[in-house]
């Protein structure tokens, strides 16, 4: 098992939080990104790091759900 650090990033690129999970491999880490995008409505993407190495980036697929800096988060509208 490896320890992966997940950074949900908003439209401005800021990660307001991070989460750490021990997972079997990078495939499991990539799958976890989808769950984090559901959990963090203001995130437009999630980065996965293994130590100092970026191993995966998952972006939100539905453009209608991507918050912009010009208006409110669609999840809260």
Mean pLDDT of 60-66: 65
C-beta separation of 32 from 50 below 8 A: no
Backbone angles phi, psi at 65, to 5 degrees: -95, 0
Mean pLDDT of 58-75: 61
Checking if the pLDDT of 71 tops 90, the result is no
Q: Please give the share of the chain, as a percent, with pLDDT higher than 70.
A: 79
């Amino acid at each position: 098992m490896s320890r992966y650090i997940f950074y949900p990033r908003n439209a401005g690129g800021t990660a307001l939080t991070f989460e750490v999970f021990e997972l079997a491999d990078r495939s499991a880490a990539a799958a976890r990104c989808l769950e984090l995008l559901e959990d963090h409505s203001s995130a437009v993407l999630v980065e996965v790091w293994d130590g100092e190495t970026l191993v995966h980036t998952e972006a939100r697929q539905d453009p209608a759900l991507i918050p912009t800096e010009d208006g409110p988060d669609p999840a809260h509208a």
